[in-house]
Amino acid sequence: MNIFNSIGQVVYSKSVLISKGISTETFDVNNLSNGYYHLQLKNNIHNINHQFCKQ
């Protein structure tokens, strides 16, 4: 799992082991400055991207 800021810098990175079925991972955004971010989750098969805004 990687989180990038609006200029493409990695501001958070964590290796996550996901098993079959539904998995949940949480992270604390309190340390992030207000702004737009890009969340990336990827493995050998899937690449999931999501944008979010912290206010």
Global confidence as pTM: 0.80
Longest Cα–Cα distance in the chain: 34
Q: Which residues contact 2 (CB under 8 A, 6 or more apart)?
A: 10, 12, 13, 39, 40
Convert the pLDDT of each residue in 8-52 to its tens digit: 999 999 998 777 777 788 888 899 999 999 999 988 888 999 999
Q: Is the Cβ–Cβ distance between 33 and 50 less than 8 Å?
A: no
